Amino acid sequence: MTQTSAPQQGSKQATDKNAIRPFQVNVPETELTDLRRRIHATKWPERETVSDASQGVQLATTQKLARYWTEYDWRKCEAKLNALPQFITEIDGLDIHFIRVRSKHEKALPIIVTHGWPGSIIEQLKIIGPLTDPTAHGGTAEDAFDVVIPSLPGHGFSGKPTATGWDPIRIARAWIVLMKRLGYKRFVAQGGDWGNAVTEQMALQRPPELIGIHTNMPATLPADVAKALQFGEPPPAGLSAEEKGAWDQLDFFYKHGLGYAQEMANRPQTLYGIADSPIGLAAWTLDHDARSQALIARVFDGKPEGLTRDDILDNVTLYWLTNTAVSSARLYWESKLAFFAPKGVPVPAAVSAFPDEIYTAPRSWTEKAYPKLIHYNRLPKGGHFAAWEQPKLFSEEVRVAFRSLR
């Protein structure tokens, strides 16, 4: 199965464009054999000329990943996905794939959770149980959610746009249609990375059904801070210690971490190499932010910290098997939003600030950015892929965040 063939097959079976069709993953063994062949055939560069990761993902890390990838069993991930209710439905001319798990508890609050790049639905699998069945994970029945996890257009098993226009604003419209199509009259939304951009745009479109949002990567950057970062100026005077810490994180990211985003925002079609080489794809996705990269390097050194080698390869292999390296990159080209700038979200908003995120949003910036802030918490651990890396903390945050809205 490939990203295009499964949705197309479903489309033939559907007589109604609004139909919700069951979906299962079934990758032909030939594709897995070809993947291993390509890994074995990798043409390696020489090692970096420094003793750290300042030149990028280190050769030793990538070769450890490659060795494990040749032994890795995709079928375990496939079985995990197929154990969940998955569906395809056409929205605005595009097939959208999603997982939908309903809670056994009455009055469960519907939530739509959106991943980012280089993530996927794999990021959210660990939070499905704690959110839908909180009594089995240290919570109460009153904290239960019905969980909907869609794949962004051009990602995973969703369709690939064949024309321009699928930016976070359009995706937000599609997500609202999806939740209404599922029959929800009242729901909340959650996201980080692109998931935050989409979630905030849902709020800005003000559907009456959307009663609140939660984000683990908030957009809070004051205008003077954003300007100073953009032009390489010193930090504005008068920053508190917490704000200066966020400045330092952002200053590093602007100077050393934005390369991948700039390339995808300007020239996504040029990235043929990551569509043709699994190792090229893996290295590109690992190099998202320095702290995530360091964590993943430690995992392949045998020190799992929330993520395992299988977690990481489940995600990269999904990108490979669906051939979505370039189609997912186009979202950066499509979006014209200022990623970290406040958007004036008009609905109740909750923020969880993780210490190893690209930046840990200070309370002061957050309170100004979200006029209806209902929850703010700084977590003791966790980074950019919070739901994936720290599912217990993340799930507890989501429960607390929306408690006042039930």
Catalytic residues: 193, 332, 384
What sign for the dihedral angle of Cα 151, 154, 159, 162? positive
Q: Which residues contact 52 (CB under 8 A, 6 or more apart)?
A: 58
Q: How far from chain centre, in Å, is Cα 157?
A: 14
Alpha helices in 210-270 (DSSP H): 223-230, 241-256, 259-266
Structure tokens given for 176: 């609202």
Q: Which of 29, 23, 33 minimizes the C-alpha distance to 3?
A: 23
**What pairs with residue 352 in β-bridges?**
377
Structure tokens given for 315: 């995600």
Structure tokens given for 180: 């209404």
Q: Are 355 and 181 in contact (CB under 8 A)?
A: no
Please tell me the number of Cα atoms within 13 Å of 194 on its side-chain side.
32
SS3 content of the chain, % helix, strand, coil (to 5): 50, 15, 40
Q: Which residues contact 237 (CB under 8 A, 6 or more apart)?
A: none
Q: Tell me how many degrees the CA angle 309-382-130 measures, rounded to the nearest 5.
A: 80
Bridging pattern class, strands 187-191 and 210-215: parallel
**Cis amide leading into 118 (omega within 30):** yes
Q: How far from chain centre, in Å, is Cα 362?
A: 22
What is 298-342 written as a DSSP string?
Answer: HHHTT--SS--HHHHHHHHHHHHHHT-HHHHHHHHHH--S-TTS-
